[in-house]
Amino acid sequence: MSSNIKKIIILKLIRSNIWGGKHTPLDYAIKGIPEHTRNTQKGNREIKKTIKELINENWVHMMMKRTGKGYDHHISLNPKKIKEIKQFITNS
């Protein structure tokens, strides 16, 4: 399950070309995950765990950015890890 979520998030960021200095709200990246996963407590825990894994592996950067409504978490792919990310996508 975790690798499916990881793949969904990474593919969405790749398709949107969110690398390095370009970032997007975390909610946008999570919207690609099926609702039956997002709307359950177990699914939410799995999503949070997967995002922590991506940050710990240094595949994504997460930062707080000011928006019109306050501050939100924004996410972008690490351009220094392109090789590892693409290898993960092709192997899974």
Confidence at residue 3, expressed as pLDDT on a 0 to 100 scale: 84
Number of domains in the chain: 1
Residue burial 2-24, b: 16+ Cβ < 10 Å; e: rest: eeebbebbbebbeeeebbeeebb
What is the pTM assigned to this prediction? 0.88
How high is the pLDDT of residue 40? Answer: 92
CA-based angle 59:61:67, to the nearest 5?
150
- CATH number for the domain harbouring residue 68: 1.10.10.10
- pLDDT band of residue 1 (cuts 50, 70, 90) is low
- Spatial distance between the Cα atoms of 66 and 74, rounded to a whole number of angstroms: 10
For the stretch 14-71, pLDDT in tens is 999 999 889 999 999 898 899 988 899 999 999 999 999 999 999 999 999 888 888 8
pLDDT of residue 82: 93
- Residue 33, domain extent: 2-91
